């Protein structure tokens, strides 16, 4: 084949196989500082570490989830959801009853995208510390406590001193999505059979929710 003809054919072939981002549109952004809870079912506004947050949540204290519903989304092919997740106090990770497992989930349109556990155990020398599944899913994954954390040893939610602390995670998920409606739900399945004050024993909050629609 003539080289002058071959080069244009190869060029077209190479670039026809690539997918390009046509546009990104932020369809939701909320740091909760203004108190905006529109479109959120079971919204709880609180304060943590000097910032407004959505939380605290704990299923054993009759507040274990929130649901954000967005309608009339622009035409898109992908959705990216990102937010800060604060895991407060004595989460026990993969530990079995009566203390665990302490499971946290993120669902979109009823489909589970995250099903994991978190552990705030302190791994002192010679002591067993309960593993967590994150950044992988539960069960069958065992990682050190606080694996994948963005910040550790933040103040606890109910006590600013002592062994109870908070761990911050940066959660980001991108997935195929074309519907004009999106329902984001975050929830826990905490186990605390022996805790006198369950919400202060372990809970969670979120902040800085950002949802982006991408067309290809």
Residue found under tokens 């826990």? 188
DSSP 132: B
Domain-wise residue ranges, the chain: 28-215
Residue 29 in tokens = 């952004």
CATH number among 1.10.12, 2.30.30, 2.60.40, 2.60.120, domain 28-215? 2.60.120
Q: 162's torsion region: left (phi>0), alpha (psi -120 to 50) or beta? A: left
Q: What is the DSSP letter of 58?
A: B
Exposure string of 46-67, with b = 16+ CB inside 10 Å and e = fewer, is eebeeebbbbbbbbbbebbebe
| Structure token digits, residue 148 | 């994948």
Give residue 63's region: left, alpha or beta (phi > 0; psi -120 to 50): beta
- Residue 162: the pLDDT is 53
pTM recorded for the entire structure: 0.88
CA distance 33 to 53: 8
Are 91 and 102 a contacting pair, CB within 8 Å?
Answer: yes
Q: Render pLDDT for 167-179 as a digit per residue (tens, 0 to 9).
A: 999 999 999 999 9
pLDDT of residue 11: 45
CA dihedral 128, 164, 107, 42 (to 10 degrees): 150
Q: What is the pLDDT of residue 99?
A: 85
Are 206 and 114 a contacting pair, CB within 8 Å?
no
User: Residues of the chain whose pLDDT is less than 70?
Assistant: 1-19, 125-126, 159-163
Q: What is the pLDDT of residue 204?
A: 97
Report how far residue 85's alpha carbon sits from residue 171's, in angstroms, rounded to the nearest whole number.
7
Would you state the pLDDT for residue 190? Answer: 95
Are the beta carbons of 31 and 208 closer than 8 angstroms?
yes
């Amino acid at each position: 084949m003539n080289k002058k003809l071959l080069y244009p054919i190869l060029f077209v072939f190479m670039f026809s196989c690539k997918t390009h981002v046509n546009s990104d549109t932020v369809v939701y952004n909320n740091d909760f500082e203004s108190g905006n809870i529109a479109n959120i079912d079971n919204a709880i506004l609180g304060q943590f570490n000097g910032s407004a947050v959505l939380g605290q949540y704990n299923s054993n204290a009759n507040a274990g989830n929130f649901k954000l519903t967005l309608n009339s989304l622009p035409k898109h092919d992908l959705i990216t959801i990102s937010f800060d997740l604060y895991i407060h106090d004595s989460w026990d990770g993969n530990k079995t009853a009566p203390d665990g497992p302490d499971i946290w989930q993120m669902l979109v349109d009823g489909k589970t995208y995250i099903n994991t556990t978190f552990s705030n155990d302190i791994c002192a020398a010679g002591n067993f510390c309960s593993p967590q599944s994150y950044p992988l899913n539960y069960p069958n994954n065992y990682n050190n406590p606080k694996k994948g954390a963005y910040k550790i040893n933040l103040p606890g939610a109910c006590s600013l001193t002592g062994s109870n602390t908070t761990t911050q995670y940066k959660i980001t998920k991108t997935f195929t999505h074309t519907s004009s409606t999106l329902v984001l739900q975050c929830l826990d399945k905490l186990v605390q059979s022996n805790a006198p004050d369950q919400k202060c024993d372990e809970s969670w909050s979120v902040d800085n929710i950002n949802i982006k629609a991408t067309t290809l």
